[in-house]
Structure 1
Amino acid sequence: MRVLVADDERLLADTVAEGLRRFSMAVDVCYDGDGALERIGVNRYDVAVLDRDMPGATGDEVCRSLARSDAGTRVLLLTAAAGIRDRVAGLGLGADDYLTKPFAFAELVARVQALGRRSAPAVPPVLERHGVVLDVARHTVTRDGRPLGLSPKEFAVLHVLMRAGGGVVSAEDLLEQAWDEFADPFTNAVRVTVMTLRKKLGQPSVIHTVPRAGYRIGEPA
């Protein structure tokens, strides 16, 4: 899942981003609304977490821009204003959810995960392919009932492949969806991560390389 976090409280934004990365999300961070508009113009995000009061373009303006687009990005607004009128106004901008500060981080994660499942196309909370079961909410993976200890990046790559439902996912798409904006497009990170993921999933292999195209989840080889 690709997430944008935009908040002018730098410590809060960085802390939220680091926490979401522990749940295998690829997170880009910016500290003002202009930076958020720039990033949504370049990248496609599943979820945007926006502070309403930011310098430059406000979170409200960023939310309106996303609502007018066809990107399918779900928006979670963060604000210190907890009144009913404030919440109603925020949702009226096109936001999908609203969370007031201060908040419990566990609740933020749950809300982001829920919004991610509602991104286009909708994704169920538990994915199962060929004996592999990935539970997004619990952040667990099993194969034939055997728990697997995956790194956050391995989990993210597996999630993207399983979301594709057997379709081929290119290395470029994996890099875009499972890594953040600082990923080097010429790195071999995707190949190395797929290799270690295959080892942890065990035999027979369910991740197949499609020459000159990418990778897919399929029947065991």
Structure 2
Amino acid sequence: MKLLLVEDEEELAAIIAKGLRKSGYAIDQAYDGEQAMYLYEVNEYDLIILDVNLPKLDGFEILNTIRDKDSSVKVLMLTARSDVEDRVTGLDSGANDYMIKPFDFKELEARIRMLLRISFSQTKAVLACGDLTLNTLSKTAYCGESLLPLTKKEFAVLEYLFLHKDAVVSSEQLIEHVWDSEADLFSNALKYHIHSIKKKINESGHNAEYIKNIRGQGYMLLEDRHGTAE
């Protein structure tokens, strides 16, 4: 999942971004309102973490502008503005959640997971596709009883496919949502990760083809499809 972190305190932003990257999220960072709007206009994000007190444009202005264009992107306000009036303003303006500094990082992660599940109409932390299961809470994946030894990036790719199960996901869409915008991707990076995930599923003793290559279109996560991808 790809997140935009908008926070003008650079030291705090670095700490939050480091923690979220360790959890497998792709993170873009903005340190003022104008930079945030630029990144929002040129990228697609699954969730935006938004401070209120920002240079150039404050968080409420950003939120109002985004909501005039987009009702679907999830926005979590993360701010020291703790007055009830501020919380009401944020929520009434379209924030999906409002969290006050100082905060516990584990709680921030939990709220992000919750919002992302809602974003994709998911109500459970454990997603299933046949014998293949993925736990978004523990960041683990199993095929039957076998734990799949996925890397963080492989888990992120598989998670995105799970959240778009039975739909074709293009390579561009996967790259857009799983890698940072500034990542220097070599041409076969995504293919390599898909191949590695398939190999680990097969090595678990399950011969089902869960990830199908759709020639010229992308990839699709399907239940118990046998055979070799094109």
Please, what TM-score do these two structures have when normalized by structure 1?
0.93
Contact kept, 8 Å, 2:46 with 2:177, in 1: the verdict is no
**Deviation beyond 6 Å, 4+ runs, structure 1:** none
Number of aligned pairs?
A: 220
CA distance in 2, matches of 1:166, 1:185: 26
Contact kept, 8 Å, 2:52 with 2:81, in 1: the verdict is no
Q: Which residue of 1 aligns with 2:73?
A: 73
Contact kept, 8 Å, 2:168 with 2:218, in 1: the verdict is yes
Contact kept, 8 Å, 1:130 with 1:220, in 2: the verdict is no
Q: Which amino acid aligns with 1:10?
A: E
Q: Which residue of 2 aligns with 1:208?
A: 212
Q: State the Cα deviation string for residues 136-156 of structure 1 (Å, max 9, x = none).
A: 122121111222221111011
Indicate the larger mover: 102-111 or 92-101: 92-101
CA distance in 2, matches of 1:62, 1:176: 22
CA-based RMSD of the aligned residues comes to 1.6
Matched, 1:143 2:143: yes
CA distance in 1, matches of 2:181, 2:139: 23
User: What is the aligned-residue identity percentage?
Assistant: 37
The SS at the match of 2:183 is coil
Q: Which amino acid aligns with 2:145?
A: G
Contact kept, 8 Å, 1:133 with 1:142, in 2: the verdict is yes
Q: Which residue of 1 aligns with 2:221?
A: 217
Q: 1:71 to 1:24 in 2, by over 3 A?
A: farther
Aligned pairs for 1:78-117 within 5 A? 78-117=78-117
Q: Which residue of 2 aligns with 1:14?
A: 14
Aligned pairs for 1:145-160 within 5 A? 145-160=145-160
Matched, 1:197 2:197: yes
CA distance in 2, matches of 1:214, 1:133: 22
Q: Which amino acid aligns with 2:30?
A: C
Q: Which residue of 2 aligns with 1:52?
A: 52
Indicate the larger mover: 122-131 or 135-144: 122-131
Contact kept, 8 Å, 1:27 with 1:180, in 2: the verdict is yes
Q: Which residue of 1 aligns with 2:43?
A: 43
Q: State the Cα deviation string for residues 154-204 of structure 1 (Å, max 9, x = none).
A: 011001111221222111111011111113466321011111111222241
The SS at the match of 1:212 is coil
Q: Which amino acid aligns with 1:122?
A: S
Q: Which residue of 2 aligns with 1:122?
A: 121
The SS at the match of 1:149 is coil
Q: State the Cα deviation string for residues 95-137 of structure 1 (Å, max 9, x = none).
A: 1111111111000111111111122x42343211121111112
Contact kept, 8 Å, 1:150 with 1:197, in 2: the verdict is yes
Please, what TM-score do these two structures have when normalized by structure 2?
0.89
CA distance in 2, matches of 1:122, 1:42: 25
Task: Name stretches of at least 5 consecutive residues in structure 2 with no aligned partner.
Answer: none
Q: CA shift at 1:10, angstroms?
A: 0.9
